[in-house]
Structure 1
Amino acid sequence: MRTIVLLTCFLLAFLLAAPAMAAVAEPAETDEIIHGVTLEPVTETTYIITSAPPTEQPAERPVTREPETPVTDIPGPKVGWLTIISTPSGAEVTIDGEAAGATPITGREVGAGSHSVSISMPGFETYQTEKSVGAGEQAAVDATLNEIVIPTTAPTTRVTIHPEPTVTDVPCIGCDRGWIRVYCNVNGATVSFDQLSSGCTIANGYCDTDVATTGTAFRSFTVQKPGYEIFTGSVSSWPARGQTVSLYSTLIPVQSYGNIQVDSRPQGAVVTLDGSIWQNTPTTFTSVSAGTHTLQISMNGYQPYGTSVYVTAGKTASVNAYLVPNPPQPRTGSLNIVTSPKGADIYVDGTYYAETPYIVTSLAPGPHNLRMYKAGYDEYMSTVTVNAGQQTPISWTFTPQQGSVGSIDVYSTPAGSAVYLDGNYMGQTPYGGSLDIPSVLAGTHTVSLRLQDYKSYTQTVTVRAGEVVTVNAQLTPSTPSPVPDTTGQIMVVSTPAGAELFIDNTFRGITPATIPDIPAGSHVVMVRQAGYTDATQTVTVTGGQSTPVALSLAPVPVTTTKTPMSPVAGLGAVALAGLAVLYLGKRE
């Protein structure tokens, strides 16, 4: 009895403990995500209720945690600005595959780095390029679109004889009439049938021959004219009463040939016949078809020569060309710059010239960097090509500044002062004008001006979006030091501007210009420009002071040279005079 009671108690205890052990065996659900944890597969465990004592559960495997990788903060993207223009304008632009509008596009903000630019317009080839933009910098794309030329092919004319159906009617012997119409490409050609003299003459592209419908039908017809190959065709059908049968013919000119003999002075020029066949002079073109032909003769350093020549069959036509040397080519070119509004500062290759409108002269042939500033407007920046002896027109309409930027207009007395914005050098105040500083972020800025022998000038300005702040700086001379200043500066302007400036035979820049650190004393200032005589002035520079110089250039006068008498002609004249004296002496 005691044994039965113990077994019953043990069984009840095991039944009560089984749900708790099942809960321990199942993994707990959690919403927490643990990075770097390796989870082992869970093996399903089946529990069998028995009177035997419970088996001990195996220990769970430890969970291994790998160290989490720290996240590094990435700084925000840096930006620059991209200006895109095209010729013609109005082309569609995509930047990195996204539509960006139509040209011209100025000051487009893009991320720093390389960008793919595509410019397209119906009827023109698509222009594609890669442009790199630096952080805080501006870049420009100037695209010239090439027009798509669609070749035209002259249609080939095929002459086909279209027989008309024969209409059978009740014959009326000797009374029914019809017509045979012959078409031809040459007026004046004669038509005959079956080698008979009867027929007609082509006029307005055809002629008609009246025939009896009940008569004997023609089997062939012939069309001929002097200078053309004879055409023969068959009469495929015969007209019924009141009907017309159409026949077609094409006359081909009889080919005859001659020659063209070409020579030139100097020899060795390239001569092209009818724009296709070319040879070097002296030469003879053989087997040239009779008729009119064109010749083009060219040689490096000489003007092109063109003429037409008529070739007669069986004969040789001659052409002698005397080539004219090219005139001397100018060594410089110019830019004629006009803007709207006017008054923009012009910088060519980093050198200030003047305010628009203005003609920048004496520029070397080739590409130049052109930048223009106007307070309150977006700046202009482009690469322009100057051609020797030519004036390249530049016309530009400025776009008012948008967004959170404004401009600063800086004047100074005296001119030539170095201007700094927030400690960054921006340029010099020009003689007779102002220095425009566009695209200045709205806010408070410090403008500083420095000039040798003058006290530094500093002014704090507040720039508002879309507005222009003007700074008029009156610089104060420095207090004389115990040691006198031994250098000064020379401020040179010329009419016209853009002349080369030399001080003591040393090139110092392009007018107008302010040259500092000139030793006190006497100096020779000279300006030079193609097509003008040199202008020179001797000036005295005083230490610590500015010396203004204004020079005007005079155009080179056109002179005619007389051919001097040769020594032989002079001796001949003396001899004749002597003979005349001797003759008169004998007569007396």
Structure 2
Amino acid sequence: MKKSRLMLIALAVCLLCLSVVSAATLMTNAGTVPSGSTGQTAISSGLPLLKAQEEETTTETTMEPVTYPTEQPTEQPTLNPTEVTTQPTEQPTLNPTEESTQPTEQPTLNPTEESTQPTEQPTLNPTEETIQPTELPTVMPITEETTSPIPGPYAPVASFTASPASGTGPLTVRFTDTSLNTPTMWYWDFGDGTTDSSTGVPTHTYTDPGTYTVTMTATNMYGSDTITETDLVTVNGQVMNNGAIFAQSIPAGAMIYVNGNSYGTSPVTINNLFPGTYTVQASLNGYSPDTRTVSVYSGRTTGYYPTMQPTPYPPMVTGAVYAQSTPAGAGIYLNGVYYGNSPLTINNLFPGTYSILATLSGYAANAQSITVTQSHTSGFYPTLQPSPGPETTGDIFAQSTPAGAAIYVNSQYFGISPLTIPDLAPGTYIIKAMLNGYADDIQRITVSPGHVSIYTPAFYPSPPPIGSGQGIIAVYCNVDGAQVYFDNAFEGNVSNGVLFVPVATTGTPVQSYRVQNTGYIPYTGSITQWPANGETVKVTATLVPSSVPTTHTPLPVPVTIGALIGAGAVFLIARKTR
């Protein structure tokens, strides 16, 4: 019984030692900060540290004070009295001095043997001999504040400075991030419609007089924090800056003239124009010139978006198309427009190349390109092939005008229009056409079994409806390369903190946007404002990194082995003495 109890006690002692050493190991791995260190340090796992303020008091003590003769009375009592005084003190002393001549107002750590003035305050202890009194006690605590970071995963505590914060415009201000806990990403809103997400120390120039509120969001892998400084920057004086004109013709490629001077083909930006009124003209071969009066404002870009009108053809220069399908009765579409069932003739067509489609239930669709020449009728004679098996899928026929637009279905690229996208499962799809020099066209289209759905993006020149034009939705994000989706349709990737998405003001407004990237939690928001012509609407998305797994430091191998050896030794001793 005694041996068993001895073994249990020994094992308990070993387990206790393991617990103590484990705790010490974890505390060591958590990171230590040497006394008097400042700034930031990192624990062994590489996590950033929270800055903390910690007072550290150091005391400097002189073993023997150095004294100098005082001609003026000291203001504080001496810790030790002088031996000799020749005049009485104003205050009684606890221990009399041998001789003094004049009072002293301040104490000395070690009094002098002789002094020329009596003390006004009592002395505590006499000394035999000193050379010179000290003016102030030398044992004084010196307090110094040091910064000692505390390890741990924390989100930033946002703060920043601005210099200068006021002045005459144009005023260049340097902003400096002073946030705690080492942010790695920033988003700045300078209050004048300009943002920046590239650095923690941006420089921004304010051109117009006024007072500006600045907002900064600091982010690290543990979260983000936003601070808003109201009326932080003040710009004084009257500022007059040049403006610009951005010209985008439909179709693109028109030569742009401003007050009779050529500035190249659209799309083009004409910079450094004085505020005022200008005559702007767009000229393109085969189209009537477009001339307008455009106003330029200080520090702003004015948009000029002419829709070119084709030059009327002289009489008797149009052509025609005759369509006859086998079997007869197929629906005939020309450039996506339904004209009736075959056989039929389509008259009054301008010379050029068209996309023609024949579709009949129970047969595969037949699409071809056909050329129309003046005063001539072109023939289209498709032989339709029966559909194999039951009709469980449908097709989409995409025809853009002008042709050549890139076609995407549910963000997947299928080719250049005109084209047929076959064998699609029934349902609703998001289809997009992209053509250089034109705003993207996005629509929803429904596919039915055995049916061809027609998609005809409105790229061709035509008088725009009232209120038509192009605006921009600017998506700002703190992660470059993040993917942006509007109503689940892919729009592009964020670059330099922003993605500009052109949208038609007469198009169907999207309802939501989503921004995502590998390693981050996706961000979803609602689009509540649709841009007008030439207007930019801003939306933001701040991505937060996904959770980081916590790592644990294992118990040191020597400690584990030592504990096992100790337990084994106790077991052998107990067995031997049994």
Q: Indicate whether the TM-score tops 0.5.
A: no
- Specify the structure having the higher radius of gyration (Cα): 1
Which one has the bigger strand percentage? 1
